Amino acid sequence: MKKIIQFDEFTSQCPYFYDSGYSVNNGYNCAHPKCEESEKVDSTYIKNCEIGRCHTFTCPLVIEADEEDFEDKTKNSEEYEYEECGFVLVEIRDMDESKVE
């Protein structure tokens, strides 16, 4: 089942999300090998370093939630209001599906 969550909630749990400490994408950085967008950083301390840019619309792990998703109460149980680039859809496993026999 897919569920809408706030993007910041997702990033706080994502193992690929980090803040590089450089002014790249306001600290929303990604180390995933399939990250679709990056920025080259050249400074006193690092040379030619590519830093991934973390966005709802480029993330290889989740799908950006759209306005139609917010109308579906099974996905939007928290009753969030649509905000562009503010929410993603994550796959939530049903407890019955995860039972080990």
What's the pLDDT tens digit per position in 23-69? 889 999 999 999 989 998 887 777 778 899 999 999 999 999 999 99
The rounded distance, in Å, linking the Cα atoms of 86 and 7 is 5
13 is a domain residue: yes
* Residue numbers of the domain that contains 53: 2-91
39 is a domain residue: yes
Q: Which comes out higher in pLDDT, residue 65 or 96? A: 65
Length of the chain: 101
Confidence of residue 76 (pLDDT cuts 50, 70, 90): confident
Confidence of residue 15 (pLDDT cuts 50, 70, 90): very high
Give the chain's domain count: 1
